Structure 1
Amino acid sequence: MIPFSSEIKNILWDFDGVIMDSMAVRDKGFEIVLKEYTAKEVEKLMDFHRANGGLSRYVKFRYFFEEIKKESISEEEVNAYAEKFSEIMLQNLVNPSLLIKDSINFIKASFAQYKMHVVSGSDQKELRLICKNIDIDKYFLSIHGSPTPKKQLVRNLLKEYSYKASETILIGDSINDYEAAVENGIRFFGYNNLKLKEEGKKYIEKFVK
């Protein structure tokens, strides 16, 4: 059974790994965009990427150059890499078969009961196109993504919709999602990442509706 109480009225959803099984596609995207660099350097980025699923590609590309390669990179260059990445994502993620049946079935059955939003580390424009093209945008009051950090996205939503923290939860699969929830004083539920359960975070094994 879903573990959150009847007082919950608002659900903020992470996207990758929670609504869509897109992580393998995104992994490949980084490898393609950075194919001119060494496998060792790219693998270091992949380690960072997988440990920080909730962070945006803008942060990850900057990390690659500044922290791994120890090189400076301009905002324009970061945006160019992000744009190449987005082109690959739009070619491969407009695919309903990648939706996670357990969570999407709950969303379809419950969107009239809860006020639902997407808060993702993925690019906002790209995310909205994907959701529209696979016909799931109608289940959410709004869909938000990077380059705005997730902590700020959550803060903005709480303010814009006058949501009470006690009535709002965030469901995600990364420590960054947890941190975004904690910073904004709302409850967090882990999903599709057993490491979060092992760390003692509240966890959804399976949605039942």
Structure 2
Amino acid sequence: MLSKYKVILWDFDGVIMDSMPIRSKGFELVLAQYPKEQVDELIAYHELNGGLSRYVKFRYFFEQIRKETITEAQVLELAARFSEIMLSLLLDEKLLIADSVEFIKANWQKFQMHIVSGSDGKELKIINDELGLSAYFKTINGSPTPKKQLVENVLTANQYDRNEVILIGDSINDYDAAIVNNISFTGYNNPELKQLSENYITQFKLIVPQ
């Protein structure tokens, strides 16, 4: 399936690391002073929209769930607290998804690989550095830049032929980012994505690049 591509853009959460439950816990901790039913509503939104950044999710919590205004400074403060919690919990190699990580380590010289994630860019770099993954990727890209723009930036900066690029993700936001940028998409770790694309990876160990 991947042999016809030269470039792989990777989502991170749910694809390289099983971090979604940890990130849900992070929202609970940062927003602990607010009503549980409102926080639960945000977590449901978070789990449906894995590819969106925490900046978008915090704005959604206040503007859509609580019907309040929130300043950019307040969003940044919440995001910073969230990041502190994430770095305390995510620097754990046991959270890595062995199936995809083994594929990356075995094939990183066969493809140009980049991470494009809704997670904070600085935080992503620290996590990948600490867990020894950074060397496998040409660039590591995250929020606050939206994923659709991250993908566009990578494609433009490297002048890639879009016919040779595929994005691997586990959410509808990943699919949208691929479609709007006119590149291929394959779902992973989310069977609901099978209906969106003819490509779907059940296990990387079943894929043998040619």
Contact 1:119 1:154 in 2 (8 A): yes
With over 3 angstroms needed to count, the CA separation of the structure-2 counterparts of 1:136 and 1:61, relative to structure 1, is same
Shift of 1:157: 0.5
What secondary structure, in the 3-state scheme, does the structure 1 residue paired with 2:186 have? strand
| Counterpart amino acid of residue 201 in structure 2 | I
What secondary structure, in the 3-state scheme, does the structure 2 residue paired with 1:54 have? coil
Q: Which position in structure 2 is the counterpart of 1:128?
A: 125
Aligned match for 1:105, one of 79, 102, 108: 102
Is residue 93 from structure 1 mapped to residue 90 from structure 2 by the alignment? yes
CA distance in 2, matches of 1:123, 1:78: 13
Q: Which position in structure 2 is the counterpart of 1:147?
A: 144
Q: Which position in structure 2 is the counterpart of 1:11?
A: 8
CA distance in 2, matches of 1:198, 1:165: 23
Write out aligned runs for 1:13-162 (5 A): 13-162=10-159
Shift of 1:47: 1.1
Unaligned ranges ≥5, structure 2: none
What secondary structure, in the 3-state scheme, does the structure 1 residue paired with 2:167 have? strand
Unaligned ranges ≥5, structure 1: none
Is residue 207 from structure 1 mapped to residue 208 from structure 2 by the alignment? no
Contact 2:99 2:204 in 1 (8 A): yes
CA distance in 1, matches of 2:161, 2:195: 29
CA distance in 1, matches of 2:181, 2:84: 32
Per-residue deviation, residues 56-108 of structure 1 (Å, max 9, x unmatched): 00000000000000000000000000000000000010111111000000000
Equivalent pairs counted in the alignment come to 206
Per-residue deviation, residues 126-152 of structure 1 (Å, max 9, x unmatched): 000000001100000000000000000
Q: Which position in structure 2 is the counterpart of 1:174?
A: 171
How does the TM-score come out when normalised to structure 2? 0.96
| Counterpart amino acid of residue 184 in structure 2 | R
